Amino acid sequence: MPVNRKLRNFINYFLGPIVILWVGYSTYTHIIRQPNREAAWASIRSSLRGDGPLLLGATLLLMLVNWGIESRKWQLLVRQLEPISFRKAYFSVLTGVSISINTPNRIGEYGGRILYLQPENRLKAISLNMVTSVSQLIVTMVMGILGVCYLLANLSRGALDKHGLTPFWLDVLIYGGTAFCALTVVLYFRLSWLVRILEAIPALRKVKPYIAVLDHYEWPLLASMLLLSTIRFVVFVTQYILVFRLFSVDVTWWQGFWAVSVLMLILAVIPTITLTEPLIRQGVAITLLGLFNNNSMGVGFASFVIWIINLIIPALLGGLLILGIKIIKD
């Protein structure tokens, strides 16, 4: 049935400003509730001396690279439905970040990305977004498990226990994560099996037209998704290490790489929403980096800055982009 004209105009012309206000207000309220907020801003200002601007500029540049890689993944996947330019793919990814700002584990990103596609392709594209998410999850789990192994091999049990990292929970991460990751990899490279399983569930048969597109993806494209996800993971960890340098967190690149890998694994398995994620991220980061240095405040500030750069700035840009989208055409 045709969408009521008033409703259509409301969605097309008012949703964008509403999202911008929503993102801005949510960001503001979260920042003012941050513990030691004044000390954090003072530390940020003092760090912008010497090599500080260079480190911060490089981190911002890598943010563009980070989301650019994700945009390339989306462009490659969605061309089975509708060829789009890299620019359009980049805009859709930023819009997805904006829409997802307050949703659990940023699941709202699915709805944001599909707005740049033709209406008849939007529901089908939701399943494609799952492919990009799963490819990144696989890389995160593999690197995180290797990071846990690094901690167990290079630190004493006493040092781990002192920071609340008991061997039991680390073993749970290794063995449970490995089993889950192996199952995910099998289903990832056999998407047709997943389609058959979903089709066999009576309640889900109506979604068959929207998931059938997964049958067209072969292992070379899926392998390239994993490669791009790996590059994106390295870019993200490098951002962390640059910001650690910015706040005088004294860790080697190798120590920082594996500590952040474990951090990303833990964040992947803990349900969060965007506005509670920084507190969880800071707490886990301080625990993990505390194994190698005592600058807890610097680690906390670094986690907060990464959150601002990698999520809040793209979300605000995505909110502006929504202004130019006609969500409902007919």
**What are the pLDDT digits (tens) for 49-76?**
667 788 889 999 999 999 999 999 999 9
Could you tell me how far CA 106 lies from the centroid of its own chain?
A: 8
CA distances from 270 to 44, 182, 264 (A): 28, 19, 10
Q: Cα separations (Å) of 38 from 51, 140, 286? A: 23, 33, 19
Tens digits of per-residue pLDDT, 227-285?
A: 999 999 999 999 999 999 888 888 889 999 999 999 999 888 776 555 556 667 777 88
111 within 8 A of 129, measured Cβ to Cβ: no
pLDDT at position 1: 41
pLDDT more than 70, % of the chain: 72
Phi, psi angle pair for 61, to nearest 5°:
-65, -40
For residues 272 and 302, is the Cβ–Cβ distance under 8 A?
Answer: no
What are the tens digits of pLDDT across the range 10-26? 554 455 556 556 555 55
**Which of residues 266 and 38 earns the better pLDDT score?**
266
Q: Could you tell me which residue, 46 or 302, shows the higher pLDDT?
A: 302
pLDDT tens-digit map of 109-167: 767 788 788 877 777 787 788 888 889 999 999 999 999 999 888 887 777 777 777 77
Q: How many angstroms separate the Cα of 300 from the Cα of each of 32, 34, 62, 180, 272?
A: 16, 11, 20, 30, 18
Provide the 10 A C-beta neighbour count for residue 192: 14
Query: pLDDT grade, residue 287 (50/70/90)?
Result: confident
170: pLDDT strictly greater than 80: yes
Token match 């490819």: residue?
135
